[in-house]
Amino acid sequence: MKYVIAIFQPDRLNDVMARLEQKEIHLVTVTNVMGRGRQKGVAAVYRSHKEAGSLLRKVKIEIAVNDEYLQQTIDAIVAGAHSGEIGDGKIFVLSLEECVRIRTSETGSVAIG
């Protein structure tokens, strides 16, 4: 099982979610984050006090999937989040050792979906 973490532009969230739906990947956790990447943040100014390269709003999604779903998950995210511009973001894949569904206490692959 894999634990996929993707960070991308907030305004892409709807597209990404839609793409995942299509691939039947329904379960997703979304978090509001800020990111500093290639795309240098615009400096904010408060009463002429410059805030060094401020962080930009990004959104992070986490998806636990079974190995066979990994590729299409990545594809769906890329398809939804890609704009070709700096700031598009990243996808990270970690290996997932165990998964438990709280409602049923099922564990392992079955619990993921």
Partner 1 sequence: MSELRRGLRPALRLGAAIAVLLAASPAAAQDGGIDKGDTAWVLVSSALVLLMTPALAFFYGGLVRRKNVLSILMQCFLCLSLMTILWVMFGFSLAFAPDALGGLVGGGDYFFLRGVTFEPWGSTTIPGQLFMVFQGMFAIITPALMVGAFAERMKFSAICLFMGLWLLLVYCPVAHWVWGGAGGFFGLGGDGALDFAGGTVVHINAGVSALVASLLLGRRQGYPTSTSPPHNLPFAVLGTGLLWFGWFGFNAGSALAANEQAVNAFVTTHVATAAAALVWGGLDWMRHKRPTLLGVITGAVSGLVAITPACGFVSPLGAICVGGGASLVAYFAVVKLKPRLGYDDSLDVFGVHGVAGIWGAIATGLWATSASPNSTVDGLFYGNPAQVLIQLKAVAFTIVWAAVVSFVLLKVIDLVLGLRVGEHEERIGLDLTEHREVAYTLVD
Name the site residues for ligand ADP (rule: CB under 6 A).
7, 27-29, 35-39, 56, 58, 62-64, 86-90, 101, 103, 112
Contact call for residues 99 and 108 (beta carbons, < 8 A): yes
Q: Please, which residues have CB within 8 angstroms of residue 91's CB and are 6 or more apart in sequence?
A: 4, 5, 6, 7, 74, 77, 78
Closest residue by Cα to residue 68 from 24, 32, 8, 98: 24
- Residue 37 backbone phi and psi in degrees, to 5: -135, -155
Q: How many CA atoms lie within 13 A of 80 on its CB side?
A: 28
Binds 68: which of partner 1, ligand ADP, its own copies, none (CB < 5-8 Å by kind): none
Binds 66: which of partner 1, its own copies, ligand ADP, none (CB < 5-8 Å by kind): none
Question: x/- binding map, residues 9-48, to its own copies, per CB under 8 A?
Answer: -----x--x--------xxxxxxxxxxxxx----------
Interface positions with its own copies (CB under 8 A):
2-3, 5-8, 14, 17, 26-38, 52, 55, 58, 60, 62, 64, 74, 77-78, 81-103, 105, 111-112
